[in-house]
Homo-oligomer: A and B are copies of this chain.
Amino acid sequence: MPKLDVTLGVDIGGTNTAFGFIDKNGVCIIESSIPTNSFEPAEKLFDRLSKEIKEFYSKIKEEYNFIGIGIGAPNANYYKGTIEYPPNLKWGYVNVVEILQQYFDVPTAITNDANAAAIGEYEFGAAKGMKDFIVITLGTGLGSGIVANGELLYGADGFAGEIGHTIFDVNGRICGCGRKGCLETYASASGIKRTVFELLSNSLENSSLRDISFNDLTSKMISDSALAGDKIALEAFDFTGKVLGIKLADTVAHFSPQAIILFGGLALSGNLILEPTKKYFEENLLNIFKNKVKLLPSKLTNGNTAVLGASALIWNEIDKAAKKAAFQS
């Protein structure tokens, strides 16, 4: 039997760094994770990580060829192969691709979490066969990965796709970025919490959410309350969908994509978030775009989606290189 090709997907998070060997179809052969130990220098993490990877690869190397590494990480720069001043790690500026290539002699690429999610949907998920689509990641913040003309959009400096920091209301909520009214202060797991607290303050409606502190409240709790018919929770989803729908209509006016895909924590609320977003999205689209742009839930729902996305990044790079080589020969 000839060996099958696998790539390694690595997701570097503030707490854990997960990795897995993923085949061409997006099937995870083997996966694990180690603590990131964010207080340590980056070199120590990659030294520990490389040892683990080698140990795991030794278990499958009779059957599989290890042909590339894809990495998803906060503040990653695809062009430079770096992670730059990540908010949850004390690393400063680290050339991750250079470090990992000292351990593994295979093509290696890095990108941020939202771009990895976008390439993941393209290779294995809801965006298969699409050339123009956008993935919106609804986590603590709102990230976005944009594919235009079949290519991830990086812009002049690698920082394209900051849709979370488009402005919904110039006089709106304070954002972590220092400005006011950014989309992610409304449409994200933390945004919907803020909306719940605004609604609790404005109304006299009874709600199970009145017993929970801001710090204890999670988007899962809001979701559960909404499913139980809690009016405040339902209104919070409606308002979140309204803000997201209005701003995504602007995004469509820029890109005219085939689809927008909702990914990540808050997207797990399913129709609770998808339906109001769709409603206000269609209402606010320019005529020529109405009923044309699909709003879809992620199809990367099995296993570690961040590791899958990271692996998809390098599968995509390897494919592009192969096509280029075929073109030149």
Partner of A286, one of B132, B149, B162, B292: B162
What is the predominant secondary structure among interface residues of chain A facing chain B? loop
A153-193 CB mask vs B (1 if < 8 Å, else 0) is: 11111111111011100100000011100000000000000
B250, A167: Cβ atoms closer than 8 Å: yes
Q: Which residues of B contact A286 (CB under 8 A)?
A: 162, 165, 177, 179
Cα A77 to Cα B75 with chains together (Å): 38
Q: Which residues of B contact A177 (CB under 8 A)?
A: 286-287
Whether, in the assembled complex, A251 has its beta carbon less than 8 Å from a beta carbon of chain B, the answer is yes
A148, B155: Cβ atoms closer than 8 Å: yes
Whether, in the assembled complex, A284 has its beta carbon less than 8 Å from a beta carbon of chain B, the answer is yes
Specify which of A157, A246, A254, A327 lies most central, judged by the most chain B CB atoms within 10 Å of its CB.
Answer: A254
Cα A265 to Cα B246 with chains together (Å): 30
Copies in the complex: 2
Partner of A155, one of B162, B255, B327: B255
Known contacts A149-B151, A153-B149, A155-B148; is A162 also within 8 Å of B253 by CB? Answer: yes
A contact set with B: CB distance below 8 Å? 131-132, 146, 148-149, 151, 153-163, 165-167, 170, 177-179, 246, 249-251, 253-258, 284, 286-289, 292, 327-328
Provide a sorted-by-A list of 29 A–B residue pairs whose CB atoms are within 8 angstroms.
A131-B156, A132-B156, A148-B148, A148-B149, A149-B149, A149-B153, A149-B154, A153-B255, A155-B256, A155-B257, A156-B257, A156-B258, A156-B292, A157-B256, A157-B292, A159-B256, A159-B288, A160-B254, A161-B256, A162-B254, A162-B256, A162-B289, A166-B249, A167-B246, A167-B284, A170-B246, A170-B284, A177-B286, A254-B254
